[in-house]
Amino acid sequence: MASNGLRTQFPYVGDQLSPRPLYDFPSPTSNYPSGIGAPSPSFYPMAYQISPRFGASAFIPPPDVFGDSRREAVRENGVYTPRDSRKRSSDALNTDPVAMHLLVETAIGDSQYFDILTVEEVDALKQEQKALDTRLSTVRRKLESETKIRDATRSLGRLASKKANGHNRALSSKASNPVPKYDEQEEEGLDSSNKKVEELIRECLEIESRMRMIDMQLLMHTAAVLQLTHKAPKPRNHESGLEDQFRRPDSPASLNLYEHSGTNGTQRTRGGDFDERSFYRSPENLDTLMHVLQNGTHHLTEPADRPDRALAATATRLQEMNERLRALLVDANPERDEHYSLPPLALEGTPDVSTIDRQLDFLDQGLRSFSTEHANMRTHSRHTLSEVEGRLEGINNQLYAVLSRSDNEQADKILPPPAISGGGSTEQLNYMEDSFYNLEQVQYAMSEQIADLQSSTSNREDSDKAERYETTIMGLWQIILAGEEEARERKRERRRLIAEDPDADEQLSPDEDYNANESFSLTAFSAKVQWLFSRATSLKDKQSVLLRQIKQQRELNSKSDAQKEAEFERLNEQLLSARSVKKSMEGELERAMDQLQQFDEQKIQTDSQALRETQERNAGLEAQLINVQERVMAFETELTEAKQRAIAYENQLKAVQERAVSYQSQLQDAEQRAAAYEKELEDHQERSTVYNITSREAEERSAGYEAQVRDAQERALMLESKLREAQDDARVEAAAIQAELTDAAERIDQVTIALKNVTADKEAAEARSLDATNTLNAKEEEFRALEGEIVRLTTELTFAKAELDGAYGTRAQRAADSAANPAIKRELDELAEQNQALLGELEALRKVQDVASQSEAEARQSERNLKAELSGMAAEYEALTRDAIQNEKDRDVLEGQIDKLRDEKEGLERELSDEKVKWLGVRSPGVPNGAPQLDMGATSIRMLREDFRKMMRERTAEGLKALRAEQEERRKLEALVRQLRKEAMPRGSGLARNVVMTTAMQ
């Protein structure tokens, strides 16, 4: 569908209830925004045909129906206040209450059968509306791009058809473009573009129809909700002013006549207002009287505080209204009313009539201020609209002047802009849209004319240039062909002249490729020019070379024969000296090769032997380390078992101690009882006998426990002896391993020294080889210089021969002359032989150099192998050192555990001895006659206790002395081992020393 280039009156605001235009696609050359991406203007399909050109539509609301004016009409309590009455389409409704009443009744009656949707359904419809809106915007963007593509295709086809058919075109109406003729390919592209545009338009229409249905459902739901929640009206305040200065009579259900006030939404009237609802009410107090008479409550008196409560409620509501009115005034003009006085506050308790009067006065003053502010705002808006209309008139006058000066055919039909009427800017905006449309048409026509002129001018210039270029190139082609033909003719003439001399064939140059039937073309002309350029460059280079050679030959010819002989003798002497130097270098090279071969054989033998010995030692050390590790693991298992047994013995000892404590408590109880019942000893003899038996059993049990403790001590001693033996074995093995490591380090040092010697020899050999190579290179340089001199002399000789040929006859004659002079021939033969000999010597020297470089590479490879073996041995030595250090750490840990077990054993022994000492002094209950014997027994027990303690102290002191001596001996051995390591480290490799130092620091 082609666009007529017209835009709708009201742009799409972007909210859900804004009028949505159906589709409107401007010209591709338009610089003004279009309705792409906006919904339809109304809910009916014919609405998109309405535009300012054809008048207003009954379905399209005014431009500011959903604009910012609604925000100014919304009060703080959320009640919607309509716009000014001057924006209504009919003034008769302002003064006709009957018509307004009929309209309200009709609206309520029409909406009573509308369905009220649920909240979920409303949300679903709104979500669908948003999704359709997004989809519609996407489709419109695609449609706009496809329309531009179609218009571009049509424009390209029109330009092509103008070039082909002599700019024939057909004119159409004002809103259409010329209809050109297209070829088949362009027709296919245009048809595909039209199909895409039609599909997108169809999809757009479907989406818009669905959106109109959703909008209709939502509006019907809104009307049904408003009809259901419709309340009785309240007459408008007589003091409120209107824009048209009419006092509109009251009408029921008119949204423009409502004024809701208060916090609970009730309607109140002033004393001077008449409420029409009284026609529909029963007489005053009749319902109340009937209710009182029916219920029998007319004898009851109403409470005395009811008027006070009503007065307090009225004062509170007046205060709230005053606060809200003050907030509205401050919001309307914050700069002027920022310090507006606060409303009077109601006093605590029962307010009086004066408080209500003050609040009513404040309310009256606030309403007057609000009406004044409203009038000021209305006046300011009028002035603003007048200014806007004036500026639009000025812009329209400028547009009219521009259009009237244009060369368009319809420039005479353009009307002048409308005058300022004060009724709004709609007419000015409509005229501006029409003017913009006319400007687009003028611009489109001018762009077509400019394109035609440019195409015609460029075509003429291109054709003229092509003709001139073709004429010039054809002339050059003929000149080149004529020159080539002349060159070939000269060469044929020279061939005929030289054909008589059979020895002069080599003086002729070969024939060039020639195509007699070659026709003119740009490719052939380019190739011919390139060939001529390369040929001229090469001939120029040859000319410079020939000039230089002729100059050198002339200089040589000017020299005397004596100088030539001296030069020849000098060259001969240099050749002889080079041969002697070569022989000496060959001898030195052979000696160096023999020395390197001997050194390689010795080095291979020593390296293989040292490697075998090192591998054997490493294998032995690994086996010893494995045995040591197995022994240490066995010792650890035995030590773990000993720990477990010691823990078991400790648990048993704790149980014995607990039982001994319980027995001691029982004995103390028995002593107390015996002291309390000494007078009744006869009655308790049997009980004392039982106590004696119990004490004997306890002594027997303690003896058994002592035996178990002795067994544990013996086992601990045995484990200590085994552990000491294991420690001794480990120390011996560690010493042996250390000795072997020292031997290995010494051997590694020896191998390192040997490797250093070998490296030094190799470096000396490399130095000699380098000297020989340098000498050889110098000789080669001299040889190259001689060879260059020979080449130069040969070249000069050749040029001399050429000049002699030109000066003294043909080659046959010179051959006859040279045959007559055998000295020159012999001299030339000798020079040729010397040249061959020098070439052979140079080849021999190159072979000798290759052999020397190969031997040097082999020596470097053997050096790398030795370094790799040495690094491997150093790594093995480091691993052995780490294992030895780890063994020492394990030994320290084991010794610490042994010391700990020893301390625990000594503690157990001390506790056991203390228990024994305690039990030695315990008395058994007996008769009083045995008191002296008990005193003697106590004395002996004290002596035994002191002896036992003394013995235990001595034994503990001996054990501590032995332990200190053992620890001192261990420290001495460790110091000795460290000293040996320090002495062995300087002879080892640097890498091994670093590893040992790092592990020692750890």
SS3 letters for 949-974? HHHHHHHHHHHHHHHHHHHHHHHHHH
Tell me the pLDDT band of 215, cut-offs 50, 70 and 90.
very high
Tokens of 421: 């009427």
Residues 6+ apart with CB under 8 A from 955: none
Q: DSSP code of 41?
A: B
Three-class SS state of 80: strand
pLDDT band at 267 (very low <50, low <70, confident <90, very high): very low
* Residue 766 near residue 657 (C-beta atoms within 8 A): no
Among 141-155, 212-226, 576-590, 922-936, the range of highest mean pLDDT: 212-226
Residue 873 has pLDDT above 70, yes or no: yes
- Going by the DSSP 8-state scheme, the letter that residue 344 receives in this structure is P
Length of the chain: 1002
How many C-beta atoms lie closer than 10 Å to residue 35's C-beta? 23
Residue 855: name the closest of 582, 592, 601 by CA.
592
Return the HEC string of 599-647.
HHHHHHHHHHHHHHHHHHHHHHHHHHHHHHHHHHHHHHHHHHHHHHHHH
**Cα–Cα distance between 326 and 324 in angstroms, integer?**
5
Q: Residues 444, 29: contact at Cβ < 8 Å?
A: yes
Is the pLDDT assigned to residue 70 strictly greater than 80? no
Q: Is the pLDDT of residue 571 over 50?
A: yes
Helix, strand or coil, per DSSP, at residue 20? strand
User: 3-state SS string over 2-44?
Assistant: CCCCCCCCCCCCCCCCCCECCCCCCCCCCCCCCCCCCCCECCC
CB 455 within 8 A of CB 161: no
Rounded Cα distance, 499 and 688, in Å: 166
Band the pLDDT of 214: cuts 50, 70, 90: very high
Which residues, 6+ apart, have CB-to-CB distance to 586 below 8 Å?
Answer: 844, 848
92-107: pLDDT as tens digits: 556 677 888 888 888 8
pLDDT level of residue 309 (50, 70, 90 thresholds)? confident
Which pairs with CB-CB distance under 8 Å and at least 24 residues apart come from 414-420?
Answer: 414/438, 417/393, 418/393, 419/393, 420/386, 420/389, 420/390, 420/393
Tokens in use for 605? 């033998």
Asked if 768 and 834 count as a contact pair (C-beta separation under 8 A), the reply is no
Three-class SS of 805-836: HHHHCCHHHHHHHHHHCHHHHHHHHHHHHHHH
Query: What is the dihedral angle through the alpha carbons of 211, 215, 221, 225, rounded to the nearest 10 degrees?
Result: 150
The token duo for 884 is 């030895």
Question: Is it the case that residue 40 has pLDDT exceeding 70?
Answer: no
| Amino acid at the residue 532 | L
803 CB-near residues (< 8 Å, 6+ apart)? 550, 553, 557
Q: For residue range 928-983, list pLDDT tens digits in order.
A: 444 444 445 556 666 777 777 778 778 788 888 888 888 888 888 888 887 777 77
Of the CA atoms within 13 Å of residue 896, those in its CB half-sphere come to 6
Integer Cα distance of 341 and 345 in angstroms? 12
The token duo for 729 is 């074995």
How far, rounded to the nearest angstrom, does the alpha carbon of residue 93 sit from its chain's CA centroid? 68
What is Dmax (Cα atoms) for the chain? Answer: 182
In angstroms, the CA 726 to CA 910 distance is: 28
Cβ distance 373 to 329 under 8 Å? Answer: yes
**DSSP for residue 276:** G
Q: What is the pLDDT of residue 940?
A: 64
Share of the chain above pLDDT 70, in %: 59
Instruction: Map residue 766 onto helix, strand or coil.
Output: helix
- Decide if pLDDT at 433 tops 60: yes
Question: What CA–CA distance (Å, rounded) separates 161 from 182?
Answer: 6
Token look-up 């509006």 returns 219
Please tell me the pTM assigned to this model.
Answer: 0.23
Q: 648-666 pLDDT, tens per residue?
A: 766 766 776 676 676 667 6
Q: Does pLDDT of 445 surpass 70?
A: yes
Averaged pLDDT of the chain? 69
**Nearest CA-CA partner of 980 in 963, 996, 965:** 996
Q: What are phi and psi of 273, to 5 degrees?
A: -90, 150
Most confident range (mean pLDDT) of 52-61, 260-269, 483-492, 795-804 is 483-492
* pLDDT score recorded for residue 120: 92
| CA 916 to the chain's CA centroid | 80
Contact 395, 417 (CB under 8 A): no
Of the candidates 398, 383, 410, 322, the one whose C-alpha atom is nearest the C-alpha of residue 358 is 322
Q: What is the dihedral of CA 200, 202, 207, 208, to 10 degrees?
A: 110
Of the two residues 645 and 139, the one the predictor is more confident about is: 139
Of these ranges, 75-84, 445-454, 798-807, the one predicted with the greatest mean pLDDT is 445-454
Distance in angstroms between the alpha carbons of the first and the last residue of the chain: 91
